C-alpha cells in the first residue's frame, strides 16, 4: 500500500467504511497525492490521452459550435464560456483559435476554466498565455457563474465525477464500500439495503448485478440546466458512456495506458466511470432545460464538418497529412472513439436542435 492508501486505511479505521464515491474523491483529488492534484495524468506519457490531445480539429469544432449557439440566440452582448476540467488547456486554445474568427463573439465573451488541480492550472496558464481573451479560473461550477448567458464545454470531465455502486443481493440492493482487510483496502457490501430508487424498472436484475449512480453528475447537470434556462446559452458534454440501456460495473483504474487495480496504490492511476447520459438528460429536464442526444462522437463530428476541416489542414500541411488523417480516424471510427464517446447538449426548452444533433 502506498502512502495515500495508508492514510485512507487510517481514515477508515477512525470513521468506518468509505463509499466508492468517497474513495474516488480522495484518490483523484487528495491535495498531496491525488491523481489530478499532484501530477499531469494526460498524454502519451501519462495515464490516458483525450480527443483534444489527439487532434486540434476537436477543439476547433467545439469553439465553432459555441459561436453558432450564440448567434442562434441573437448574439447576446455578454456571454461566459466555461470549460469544466480543461486538462492541459488544449481544447480551449483550439476552440478560441477557431472562434476568434468571429470578432463580435470575442468581444462578448469572458472565459472561465473550472479546474480543481493546481498542477493542471499551471499547465493551462502556460498553454493559454497567448489566448485572444483573458482567462480566469474557478475551483468549481458555482453561483458566480450563473449571472450571464453560459456556453459550457466539458470533455472527459463527467467520467471523473465520483460514482456510488450498489450490488443486487438476496437481501436487496446493498452499497459497495471500501474497508480494510488483512492490512489492505478491500471492497465489502454494506449490511443495510439501500432505499434509493435503484430498483425502479430493475426488479429483474440478477443477483450480483451492479448499479452505478453519480449524484455529483446529476446535481451538476441540473445546475447547468438552470443557468442555461434562466440566462440563455447551452452546454456541450462529450464523454464515454452509455444511454441508460444497461447497467453494470464501469468504474475503472487506468495507469500508463493500462488497466490497473482500483484499490491498489490510490492516486497513481486515473479512476473514471462511464457517464450515464440518460441520467444526465433527466437531470437537465429537472432543471427545466431540453437535452439533445446523446449522439455518437463520430456522427457528431462528421455533421460538424470534421472531414472538410481535415482536408484543409492536410492541404496546408502536406507533410502532416498522414498524421492528421490518422488522428481524425481515431476520433470518428466506431472501433476507436467514434461510438463509445457521445455528445449531449443542454439548451433552453424552446431551442431548436443545435449543430450536430
Interface with ligand SAH (CB under 6 A):
36, 42, 50, 52-53, 85-87, 91, 114-117, 120, 140, 155-157, 160
Q: How near is the Cβ of 343 to ligand SAH at its closest, in Å?
A: 13
Q: Which is nearer to ligand SAH, 26 or 351 (CB)?
A: 26
Helix (H, G, I), strand (E, B) or coil at 329: helix
Q: Which is nearer to ligand SAH, 129 or 140 (CB)?
A: 140
Q: How many residues does the chain have?
A: 357
Cis omega (within 30 of 0) for bond into 294: yes
Q: How near is the Cβ of 14 to ligand SAH at its closest, in Å?
A: 24
Q: Which is nearer to ligand SAH, 174 or 279 (CB)?
A: 279
Which positions ≥6 away from 103 have C-beta within 8 Å? none
Q: Which is nearer to ligand SAH, 38 or 180 (CB)?
A: 38
Per the listing, cell 427545466 goes with 288
What CA–CA distance (Å, rounded) separates 326 from 96? 24
Closest to 160 measured CA to CA, from 214, 207, 110: 214
Q: Which is nearer to ligand SAH, 157 or 357 (CB)?
A: 157
Q: How near is the Cβ of 166 to ligand SAH at its closest, in Å?
A: 22
What CA–CA distance (Å, rounded) separates 221 from 346? 9
CB 74 within 8 A of CB 149: no
Q: How near is the Cβ of 93 to ligand SAH at its closest, in Å?
A: 11
- The continuous run of DSSP H or E covering 71 comes out as helix 56-72
**Residue with the shortest CB distance to ligand SAH:** 85
What CA–CA distance (Å, rounded) separates 122 from 99? 23
Q: How near is the Cβ of 115 to ligand SAH at its closest, in Å?
A: 5
Q: Which is nearer to ligand SAH, 52 or 232 (CB)?
A: 52
The count of C-alpha atoms lying within 13 angstroms of the C-alpha of 130, restricted to the half-sphere facing its C-beta, is 3
From residue 118, alpha-carbon distances to 25, 124, 135, 266 in Å are 16, 10, 15, 19
Burial status of residue 39 (CB atoms within 10 A of its CB: 0-12, 13-18, 19 or more): middle
Q: How near is the Cβ of 325 to ligand SAH at its closest, in Å?
A: 21
What CA–CA distance (Å, rounded) separates 174 from 274? 20
198: cell is 435503484
57: cell is 480539429
Helix (H, G, I), strand (E, B) or coil at 133: coil
What CA–CA distance (Å, rounded) separates 186 from 12? 11
Q: Which is nearer to ligand SAH, 78 or 140 (CB)?
A: 140
Q: Which is nearer to ligand SAH, 189 or 301 (CB)?
A: 301
Closest to 34 measured CA to CA, from 272, 270, 258: 270
Q: How near is the Cβ of 354 to ligand SAH at its closest, in Å?
A: 20
Q: How near is the Cβ of 85 to ligand SAH at its closest, in Å?
A: 2
Q: Which is nearer to ligand SAH, 127 or 168 (CB)?
A: 127
Q: Which is nearer to ligand SAH, 43 or 305 (CB)?
A: 43
Q: How near is the Cβ of 185 to ligand SAH at its closest, in Å?
A: 21
Q: How near is the Cβ of 162 to ligand SAH at its closest, in Å?
A: 8
202 phi and psi angles, rounded to 5 deg: -125, 25
Amino acid at each position: 500500500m502506498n502512502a495515500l492508501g495508508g492514510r485512507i486505511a487510517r481514515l477508515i479505521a477512525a470513521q468506518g467504511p468509505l463509499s466508492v464515491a468517497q474513495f474516488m474523491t480522495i484518490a483523484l483529488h487528495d491535495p498531496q497525492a491525488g491523481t489530478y492534484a499532484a501530477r499531469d495524468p494526460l498524454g502519451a506519457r501519462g495515464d490516458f490521452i483525450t480527443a483534444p490531445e489527439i487532434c486540434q480539429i476537436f477543439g476547433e469544432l467545439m469553439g465553432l459550435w459555441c459561436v453558432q449557439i450564440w448567434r442562434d440566440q441573437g448574439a447576446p452582448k455578454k456571454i461566459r464560456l466555461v470549460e469544466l476540467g480543461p486538462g492541459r488547456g488544449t481544447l480551449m486554445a483550439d476552440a478560441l483559435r477557431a472562434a476568434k474568427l468571429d470578432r463580435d463573439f470575442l468581444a462578448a465573451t469572458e472565459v472561465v476554466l473550472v479546474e480543481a488541480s493546481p498542477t493542471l492550472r499551471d499547465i493551462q496558464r502556460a498553454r493559454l498565455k497567448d489566448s485572444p481573451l483573458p482567462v480566469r479560473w474557478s475551483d468549481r461550477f458555482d453561483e458566480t457563474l450563473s449571472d450571464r448567458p453560459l456556453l459550457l464545454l466539458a470533455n472527459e470531465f463527467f467520467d471523473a465525477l465520483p460514482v456510488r455502486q450498489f450490488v443486487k443481493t438476496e437481501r436487496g440492493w446493498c452499497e459497495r464500500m471500501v474497508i480494510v482487510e488483512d492490512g489492505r483496502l478491500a471492497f465489502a457490501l454494506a449490511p443495510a439495503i439501500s432505499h434509493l430508487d435503484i430498483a425502479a424498472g430493475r426488479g429483474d436484475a440478477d443477483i450480483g448485478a451492479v448499479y452505478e449512480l453519480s449524484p455529483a453528475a446529476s446535481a451538476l447537470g441540473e445546475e447547468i440546466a438552470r443557468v442555461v434556462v434562466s440566462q440563455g446559452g447551452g452546454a456541450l458534454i462529450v464523454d464515454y458512456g452509455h444511454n441508460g440501456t444497461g447497467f453494470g460495473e464501469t468504474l475503472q483504474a487506468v495507469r500508463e495506458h493500462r488497466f490497473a487495480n482500483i484499490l491498489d496504490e490510490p492516486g497513481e492511476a486515473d479512476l473514471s466511470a462511464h457517464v450515464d447520459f440518460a441520467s444526465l438528460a433527466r437531470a437537465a429536464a429537472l432543471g427545466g432545460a431540453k437535452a439533445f442526444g446523446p449522439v455518437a462522437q463520430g456522427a457528431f463530428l462528421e455533421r460538424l464538418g470534421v472531414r472538410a476541416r481535415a482536408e484543409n489542414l492536410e492541404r496546408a500541411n502536406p507533410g502532416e497529412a498522414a498524421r492528421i488523417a490518422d488522428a481524425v480516424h481515431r476520433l470518428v471510427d466506431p472501433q476507436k472513439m467514434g461510438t463509445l464517446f457521445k455528445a449531449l447538449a443542454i439548451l433552453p426548452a424552446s431551442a431548436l436542435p443545435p449543430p450536430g444533433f
